[in-house]
Amino acid sequence: MFAEKGLSRRRLGYGITAEITRIVPSFVTFLILPRLLGPSRYGQLAALVAVIALVGSLATIGAHIVFIRDVTRAQDADPRAAGRAFTTSILGGVAGVLLLVPIAVIVFDRVGVAAIAILVVAELIFGNLLHVFSGLAIAREDQPGLARFVAIFAAARIAAMVLYAVSPARGSIVGFALCCFAGALVASVVSALYASTRGLWHGPVLVVPARRDVTEGLAVSSTAAAFYVQDGLDTPILVRSGYHVDAGNYASAYRVASLAFAPINALVLIGLPQLVTRSGRDEAATRQTVVRLTLIGAAYGAAVCVMMQAVAPLLPIVLGHGYGAAVDILRWLSLLPLIRAVQYFVANLLMVNGMQRSRLLVQFVSASVSLVAYLVLIPPFSWRGAVAGTYLSEVALAVGLWAIFLRSFVHTRAERKQITDVLVA
């Protein structure tokens, strides 16, 4: 089935391998960090990391997505495109650092100024470059290259985490931040060298982005940032509401649910070039591809839901003392992969079909629902309010995206009928 529609088994295998590799560092961190820090301190660190992810998604300025779109649609690739994407990501990261560090120091005062500054620089400037390097491979449908870029960053992060666990700095958030910085820096340098030797990057390194690149990229990154509002602000609000231990338990359970998204993300990445290529040429085939991938993702999400219900009691054994509440939290969060599978593919179709504004509007509405729900429900109900707010926003997003998808489908059919009627007449 995938071969008939251009999604070969080999490409699918490389894509899934890349996504599995991508989650291995998160899995290693999940096994080590909560146990070393304990639920209270881990909750505070997880809240900071969630905010960094939110700002980091905006700081990319969508450079990798703009690059993929331009290279996929253009017959002759601009040799400056890779340098432009790299420069855009770096500039966005610097702006994010200058904006976030002063605010984070005030909000997360228990974490420490040094740890905050080091973590923010590591993720926003160097960590975000993984998106750029991945984009170089995805645009040319180079799945082996994608897998290797992901493996480079994964290996660096795993090495950094193991170094932290065995060093005298273990249990220190500053030590964790320093190890993360070293890993991200090494991975960025190695990936740049690999991209050059593989021929994915030829041309100048630094290219000032045009205004169009920035505005279009911001539209993409704003959508991602809106996603992180609903995906990540629950933990910071738990911390600011005084539920430090609950925040650690909630972050641990949510990490398990997040790890379950990997195969769905692989299908999204593999299918993106196909959607870009077919967009505007064969709308019926494009819609069929989206529906088919959504059904595959939904079947996977349902299976994972059952699995998470079964493995939830293992969390306290894996994470250690103080994580008993994570069992119930994971069981309540087990439907997330299923709901996300319903969203991802149709969201990408709207993006490549020139309906990014509609997608962005739905994303902002969903983010607003989550933010209001978190602020209202978390202070009195702790993690139960966070779970409720998460599902409210996720369902709102899925309904909104599919409403736009179905509306565009009906509109296209009406236009075709009018053309047919005119030709018959």
DSSP for 312-373? GGGHHHHH-TT-THHHHHHHHHTTHHHHHHHHHHHHHHHHHTT-HHHHHHHHHHHHHHHHHH
In degrees, rounded to 5, the angle at the alpha carbon of residue 127 between the alpha carbons of residues 73 and 162 is: 135
**Listed residue (299, 38, 420, 236) closest to 291, CA to CA:** 299
Instruction: Return contacts of 214-219, CB within 8 angstroms, 24+ apart.
Output: 214/61, 214/88, 216/62, 216/66, 217/60, 217/61, 217/62, 217/63, 217/65, 217/66, 217/88, 218/58, 218/61, 218/62, 219/62, 219/356, 219/357, 219/360
pTM score of the predicted model = 0.80
- Planar angle of CA 206, 207, 213, nearest 5 degrees: 135
Give the tens place of pLDDT for each residue, 86-102: 888 888 889 999 999 99
pLDDT digits (tens, 9 = 90+) for 162-189: 999 999 988 899 999 999 999 999 999 9
DSSP letter (8 states) at residue 200: S
CA atoms of 56 and 49, how far apart (whole Å): 10
Residue among 215, 201, 223, 233 at smallest CA distance from 364: 223
Q: How many CA atoms lie within 13 A of 307 on its CB side?
A: 13
Rounded mean pLDDT of 354-382? 87
Answer whether 251's CB lies under 8 Å from 30's CB.
no
Q: What is the pLDDT of residues 234-278, one digit of tens each?
A: 999 999 899 999 999 999 999 888 888 777 766 666 555 555 555
Which is higher by pLDDT, 386 or 409? Answer: 386
Predicted local confidence at residue 320, as pLDDT: 87
Q: What gap in Å lies between CA 7 and CA 274, rounded to an integer?
A: 8
Domain borders along the chain are 9-424
Which residue is associated with the tokens 């008993």?
324
Token digits of residue 267: 């299908």
Rg (CA), the chain: 21
Distance between CA atoms of 222 and 69, rounded to whole angstroms? 17
Q: For residues 199 and 213, what is the distance between their CA atoms, to the nearest angstrom?
A: 23
Q: How many CB atoms lie within 10 A of CB 328?
A: 16
Contact 229, 367 (CB under 8 A): yes
Q: Is the pLDDT of residue 378 over 90?
A: yes
